[in-house]
Amino acid sequence: MTASTMPVLAPAYPEIWLALASMALLIFGVFRGDGSTRLVAWLAIVVLAITVLLVVLQPDATETTFGGMFIADGFGRFAKILILLGSAFSIVLSLGYIRYERMERFEYPVLILLASTGMLMMVSANDLIALYLGLELQSLSLYVMAAFKRDSGRATEAGLKYFVLGALSSGMLLYGCSMIYGFAGSTSFPLIAQALTGGGSASIGLVVGIVFLCAGLAFKVSAVPFHMWTPDVYEGSPTPVTAFFAVAPKVAAMALFVRALLSPFGEIAHDWQQIVIVISALSMLLGAFAAIAQSNIKRLMAYSSIGHVGYALIGLAAGTEEGVRGILIYLAIYLAMNVGTFAIILSMRQKDRMVEGVQDLAGLAKTHPGMALLLAAFMFSLAGVPPLAGFFGKFYIFMAAINAQLYVLAVLGVLSSVVGAYYYLRVVKLMYFDEAAEPLAKPVRGELGAVMTVTGLFTILFFVMPGPLLAAAQTAAKSLFP
């Protein structure tokens, strides 16, 4: 790398640093062996912290590199910080589990770093080819992580299901990209947008391409009807892996969904808006009703995540700056609520075994009042009860829908929230009003306790000072609408 190329690559410094650091940690782990897992994990957290710093220090202006295929702007920076925080929290959540379940292999934190590199590339994709490269780098790491617990039949099944269905979705996405290239004449987002200026309707071939592109991206965010992998993979994967799946990749895929539709196809929003409205409505309804019958808390969180993706997609359906701002606020709050909830799920133990049943939470308020209070706060927040953070996430999304005249979608969202509140409140009822058949063992202190506390305080006290997050989301959304 010569001195003259350094400024050219500046927009991609965080990704370059993360990729090089991942490879360095991989080599370090090979020489030190599996006994170095905890050290590699903490070094990975340091690497992620430095990456956040590199992202924050980037200039406010929009910059491109790699021939315009990679873009660094306010929207990308906001999403990248959320992704890196989600990845760092996921590593912290896994520290006790991988030791307890004898999964101590140094490749685990390295895989999270490599997946994070792919996610950052996805968020900054300004071209269909760059989009696919980032998506596959993330996906290949996630397939391995789902089956990381090699002696578990459930984990192996989860990894295989995820791989097979992921390959199918990648094929659909690639087919959509090839159709778009054929009918728009370019893979570059700005050139596609330029070809579509002047309004009017897109050709039928281009619309078919957009449909396939949306299908591939809907799989990545686990939106209905491409959600079928989510409950099984969430339940079968090791719990820290499930926590990771629920936060960082979800944020990255949603940010990619927003950029991939608004940047090149913003001029023809009327052609793809109906697709997003349908998958948003179906995701909210399925997430609300299917979770009611779940007895495994990880499956419950899977259906919950499907529902929350539906809410976030309302902002994309609006197709406005206000809608994108609502999505970014929603993703930030969603990340905190899910990280905190999974920290508590990872603390659920009876004697010498991990438990995942919703019924195992019975009587938690009597034996672990602090943990029960935090979990109740997370459940109320996920249900959208004011004044907790989750209420504000839904409020800004629904306001964007109303201002975009999507009244039916906003009403469906509110009704789905009411139905969804049932299964969140059932968890609270179990903790506070039912007797425990076998109480949970003393929760793990240290890292899990710290994560629960930090995310709990954010969720409970968000209303005190929401300004910084709202302002940052507003600035980020504005960069997508020059």
Residue 200 pLDDT more than 70?
no
Residue 1 pLDDT more than 80?
no
Q: Is residue 196 one of the residues assigned to a domain?
A: yes
Q: What percent of the chain has pLDDT over 70?
A: 95
Per-residue pLDDT reduced to its tens digit, 242-256: 889 888 888 999 999
CA 254 to chain centre: 7
Q: What is the mean pLDDT of residues 418-422?
A: 88
DSSP label at residue 296 = B
Residue 92 pLDDT more than 70?
yes
Q: Is the pTM of this model over 0.85?
A: yes
Tell me how many domains the chain contains. 1
Say what the pLDDT of residue 384 is: 83
On the CB side of 365, CA atoms within 13 Å amount to 12
Mean pLDDT estimate for the chain? 86
CA dist., res. 259 & res. 75, Å (int): 9
CA Rg, the chain, in Å?
21
Say what the pLDDT of residue 6 is: 59
Residue 216 pLDDT more than 80?
yes
Q: What is the mean pLDDT of residues 311-319?
A: 89
Q: Is residue 448 one of the residues assigned to a domain?
A: yes
Per-residue pLDDT reduced to its tens digit, 430-481: 888 877 767 766 665 677 888 888 888 988 888 888 888 888 888 888 888 8
Amino acid present at 66: F
Per-residue pLDDT reduced to its tens digit, 108-143: 889 999 999 999 998 988 889 999 999 988 889 888
Say what the pLDDT of residue 117 is: 92
* 144 or 102, which is more confident: 144
Residue 353, sorted as left (phi over 0), alpha (psi -120 to 50) or beta, turns out to be beta
Distance set, CA 217 to CA 174, 202, 378 (Å): 11, 20, 28
Please report which residue ranges of 346-446 form alpha helices under DSSP H.
Answer: 364-367, 369-383, 389-403, 407-433
| Main-chain phi, psi angles of 151, to 5 degrees | -90, 10
Least confident range from 170-179, 195-204, 387-396, 402-411: namely 195-204
Q: Is residue 205 one of the residues assigned to a domain?
A: yes
Say what the pLDDT of residue 113 is: 93
Say what the pLDDT of residue 44 is: 92
Rounded (to 5) percent helix, strand, coil in the chain: 75, 5, 20
CA dist., res. 82 & res. 329, Å (int): 11
CA dist., res. 403 & res. 243, Å (int): 34
Question: By the 8 A CB rule, do 351 and 263 touch?
Answer: no
Q: What is the mean pLDDT of residues 352-356?
A: 73
Q: What percent of the chain has pLDDT over 90?
A: 19
Distance set, CA 338 to CA 12, 39, 93, 193, 424 (Å): 29, 26, 12, 36, 13
Q: Is residue 4 one of the residues assigned to a domain?
A: no
Question: Which residue range is the domain that position 76 belongs to?
Answer: 12-478
Q: Is residue 6 one of the residues assigned to a domain?
A: no
